[in-house]
Chains A and B, each alone.
Chain A
Amino acid sequence: MELVDEVSGNRQPEPVISARDVRVWYGTTRGAIRAVDGVSFDLMPGETLGLVGESGCGKSTLGRGLMGLLPTGAKRDGEVVFKGRDVFSMSAKEAYALRGHELGMIFQEPLTRLNPLMRISEHFEETIRQHEPRLPRAEVQQRAFEVLRVMGIPPTRYRSYPHEFSGGMRQRLMIALALVLRPAFVVADEPTTALDVLVEAQIVGILNDLRRTFDTSLLLITHNVGIVAEACDRVAVMYAGRIVEQGAVADVLGNPQHPYTRELLRSTISLSTTGLEFIPGSPPDLVDPPAGCRFHPRCPDAMQVCAVKDPVDVERPGGGRVECWLRGPEDLVPEGGTRPLKQEELTVADEA
């Protein structure tokens, strides 16, 4: 927990990456899908930020948007400042040079990201030479061994092919390949979802150690609140394209301020579950999201203001940010706005 205190302390170090009002929209025949719609966050050196939310909330789109890996037809807006430069306004060539070297990415399915015809050694050679073309082979091997060792992959396997590794080993390889160039910032998109329980726990342990072993800032995208609790310093909770609450992991998960965070935690089945709880309804259509707060149709605490006015981002009591009218600012709530909202009966037709 010291890390968090240090970061939010007065001697503010420069954030590694600073996102302001990031938007990513996908064009469709029905209109634009506002997958990410005005998201801001900072990531400090060596910090791990967990980005948690359900499918369709825009968390993966945000991760790819930061890396400039969006499909054609997607439009992005806002500002992402990495080491003093805006990534979003860079030329394609500049952004290409940045990826791998300064910005790394770890994907969910390791097997689909490794070339089955290339030995592990060739993967490392390709990755490193892309950025340092003249590096001698011995040097490449030296660097690869170093990072493989941290991942617990024996050097005896350096000349093996991807299919000769187990699922967990492949994910370790992916992490090793992402880290061999020592990027300052890495996005990991659901890195453990395809893995078995015990292997998942091993990888979570590795991710947890990254900040110490590599001093890398990590954006860890996951749907699993448990993984956030175990591997992250801070957490950002996403719902329908927006970060609704962010702050230190212990604060946000221990004392959630946004009703969505609270309900998400309550509906998560854990070893201490004694009764089933769930959030009524399903996430909104992002082509035409509800007015006001996007969570208001499902929110048990919704007030009249929530259905008409966009919530304002305020400071959480324990530090961090939250956007919910329940937390203020009171002077912006119109007369009578705090009266409870009469919820239309949710039909099962809207039920997920």
Chain B
Amino acid sequence: MPTKPESVTGNDTVIDVRDLSVHFGLRGSTLARLFGRDAGTVKAVDGVDLALRRGEVVGLVGESGSGKSTLGRALLGLVPITSGNVVFEGRDVGRMGRRELREVRSDIAMVFQDPNAALNPAMTVEVAVGDALRVQGVTSETERRERVVDALERVGLSPVELFLAKYPRDLSGGQKQRVVMARAIINSPTVLVADEPISMLDMSVRAKILQLMLDLKRDLDLSYVYITHDLASAKFFCDRIAIMYLGRIVEIGDTEEIFAHPRHPYTRALLKAIPDPDPARSVPRDLPRGEIPDAASPPLGCAFHPRCPVATATCGWESRDLRSLLEEHWTRRDAETYERERALVGDLDHLDTPATTARIGSGPPDQVRALLERIRAENPDEPLWQGVSEITEDGSGVVVRFHEGEDPDLRPAGGAEVACVLYGDDQG
């Protein structure tokens, strides 16, 4: 059985991403637009540096909303670049015109997640795969057919005659993904950006498609950007892995290093969350709470701090975290206690505006303070409390002040680079 290919050494960079940002403007309401009010932006990709070397497989791993797909699309100029550069063979993809982009897309090809959506149901396999040639200006039908046959053979769809006239509906999921692969390689690209190429497929088919990708890489001398949420397949498939969270790379390094010494708390959490078919391993209990936050209004400081089990005082604690704390507390209280405490705390919605000072309460300040102290006593290890610098009584409530947060940059740590206050230049 094939084993993992040897890592490629050398520094032959194919694609160089420098400080790339892709921001999307939100539309907002009609009224807001009329008055020119800004509805905010979503920083889908926010200052990312990444180099893809020749013959390498780089994995972009993260949950939905982490920006991994947007980053992948930016490599082909499929999304408008806000700032920074994507340099392919010395040219900046972000500054290319339509004609140049079309040329680049024969060198950098893309495979999408859902083979059902990627294939036109009205096109036969021959037309669908040949269409990529037509777009690139191959007008001779004989040449097109020859190259289609060649591509289909390469992706294992043989005897080819059986498949040429078939429609997507006649094919299984795995076969469809092979057709998508054939279309991607037909213009002899040097780079393939594969966005979740196996996650829609059945377990027993996934290995087949990954094997196909390894074969194609060897035969066609390809480099891959492999986008996935699945750390297990990334571990097998990638030479290097970038873990993404809310538009940023939070940890990047050689696959072996990332798995042997995961450093960022988010990487650790992802590793713990993979369900293991080995029944001897038990369910991990200490998973991070919550979900990926709203990208239009990311947390202050480190974007992962609200979910981080090891967050420190300077990770960016703020008013919204206080709201989550209270709400979480109420999931452990009976209805009566909830009603009473809720009345004491009063309005919560104003906490949704991020701030390092939060005012709560609509009752005797000492009672509000006592409530907070009770919540703290229940779980003194809750990281939020480290972030509180002081609680002062004020009128009919209290004011909670948090320490100013820090938004960590990627810094070298051991054999990888990590964006976390726990890791500095001098720590391993």
The answer to whether the Cβ of A130 comes within 8 Å of any Cβ in the partner chain is no
Known: A201-B287, A276-B210. A263 touches B204 (CB 8 A): yes
Q: Residue A282 at the B interface, CB < 8 A?
A: yes
Q: How far is the CA of A155 from the CA of B341 in the complex (A)?
A: 12
A-B contact count (CB 8 A): 183
Of all chain A residues, the one with the shortest Cβ separation from B235 is A271
B68 CB to closest chain A CB (Å) equals 12
Would you call A278 and B158 a contact (CB within 8 A)? no
- Is A155 a contact partner of B335 (Cβ separation < 8 A)? yes
Residue A352 interfacial (CB < 8 Å) = yes
Which residue of the partner chain B has the closest CB to A1?
A: B279
- At the interface, yes or no: A341 with Cβ under 8 Å from chain B? no
CA distance A204 to B276 in the complex (A): 12
Interface readout for A228-263 with B: 1 if CB under 8 Å, 0 if not?
111100000000000000000110011000000001
The answer to whether residues A282 and B172 also contact, given A54-B203, A156-B342 and a CB cut-off of 8 A, is yes
**Which of the 9-residue segments A24-32, A37-45, A140-148, A303-311 touches chain B?**
A140-148
Closest to B157 in A: A348
Complex Cα–Cα for A225 and B274 (A): 11
Closest to A200 in B: B273
Contact across chains for B211 and A149 when beta carbons are under 8 A apart: no
Q: Which residues of A contact B272 (CB under 8 A)?
A: 201
Decide yes or no: A201 and B284 within 8 Å by CB, A153-B331, A154-B330, A276-B210 being known contacts. Answer: yes
Known A-B contacts A156-B330, A273-B236; the reply to A226 vs B175 at CB < 8 A is no
Q: Are A226 and B276 in contact (CB under 8 A)?
A: yes
| A267 contact set on B, CB distance < 8 A | 203-204, 206-207
Q: Which residue of A lies closest to B275 (CB)?
A: A226
What are the interface flags for A189-202 relative to B under an 8 Å C-beta threshold, 1 for contact and 0 otherwise?
A: 00000001111111
Q: In the complex, which range does the number of interface residues on chain A fall in?
A: 35 or more
Stretch at the interface among B92-100, B226-234, B356-364: B226-234
CB <8 Å contact, B279 and A271: no
Chain A residues in 8 Å Cβ range of B348: 156
The interface-forming segment of B1-9, B52-60, B77-85, B381-389 is B1-9
Question: B271 — which chain A residues lie within 8 A by C-beta?
Answer: 271
The reply to whether B204 and A273 contact each other, CB–CB distance below 8 Å, is no
Cα distance, A196 to B307, chains bound together (Å): 15
- Contacting residues, chain B, for A351 (C-beta < 8 A): 156, 174-175, 208
Measured CB to CB, the nearest residue on chain B to A282 is B172
Assess whether B276 is in contact with A352, with CB atoms less than 8 Å apart.
no
- Residues of B in contact, count (CB < 8 Å): 66
Interface centre among A141, A149, A249 (most CB of B within 10 A): A149
Chain A residues with Cβ below 8 Å from B273 are: 197-198, 200-201
Q: Are A349 and B162 in contact (CB under 8 A)?
A: yes
The answer to whether A223 and B331 touch across the interface, beta carbons within 8 angstroms, is: no
Contact across chains for A254 and B280 when beta carbons are under 8 A apart? yes
| Contact partner, A196, options B229, B283, B327, B331, Cβ 8 Å | B229
Residue pair A202, B287 in contact (C-beta under 8 Å): yes
Q: Are B285 and A274 in contact (CB under 8 A)?
A: no
A310 to B132, CA, bound (A): 48
Chain A neighbourhood of B1, CB < 8 A: 275-277
Enumerate chain A residues within 8 angstroms of B206, measured Cβ to Cβ.
267, 269
Distance between A325 CB and nearest chain B CB, rounded to angstroms:
22
Closest CB of chain A to B351's CB: distance in Å?
11
What's the nearest-Cβ distance from chain A to residue B415, in Å?
19
CB of A205 within 8 A of chain B?
yes
If A154-B327, A352-B174, A352-B175 touch, does A197 touch B270 (CB 8 Å cutoff)?
Answer: yes
Nearest-Cβ distance from residue A14 to partner chain B, whole angstroms: 27
Q: Which of B175, B210, B291, B331 is within 8 Å of A166, CB to CB?
A: B291
Is A224 at the interface (CB under 8 A from chain B)? yes
Contact B335 A141 (CB under 8 A): yes
Once bound together, how far apart are the Cα atoms of A279 and B207, in whole Å?
9
Interface bits B226-261 vs A (CB < 8 Å: 1, else 0): 000111110110000000000000000000000100
Q: Once the chains bind, are A226 and B208 in contact (CB under 8 Å)?
A: no
Instruction: Verify if A227 is at the interface (C-beta below 8 Å from B).
Output: yes
Question: Complex formed: what's the CA distance from A167 to B291 in Å?
Answer: 9
Other contacts beyond A201-B275, A250-B280: 10, CB < 8 A: A145-B335, A197-B274, A199-B291, A230-B276, A269-B230, A271-B235, A275-B2, A276-B211, A278-B208, A352-B208
Q: Which residues of A contact B (CB under 8 A)?
A: 54-55, 141-142, 145-146, 148-149, 152-157, 166-169, 196-202, 204-205, 208, 223-231, 249-250, 253-254, 263-265, 267-279, 282, 347-349, 351-352
**Chain B residues packing against A (C-beta within 8 Å):** 1-4, 63-64, 156-159, 162-163, 172-175, 202-208, 210-211, 214, 229-233, 235-236, 259, 269-285, 287-289, 291-292, 327-328, 330-333, 335, 338, 342, 348
Which 3 A-B residue pairs are closest in the complex by CB-CB distance? A226-B275, A154-B327, A352-B174
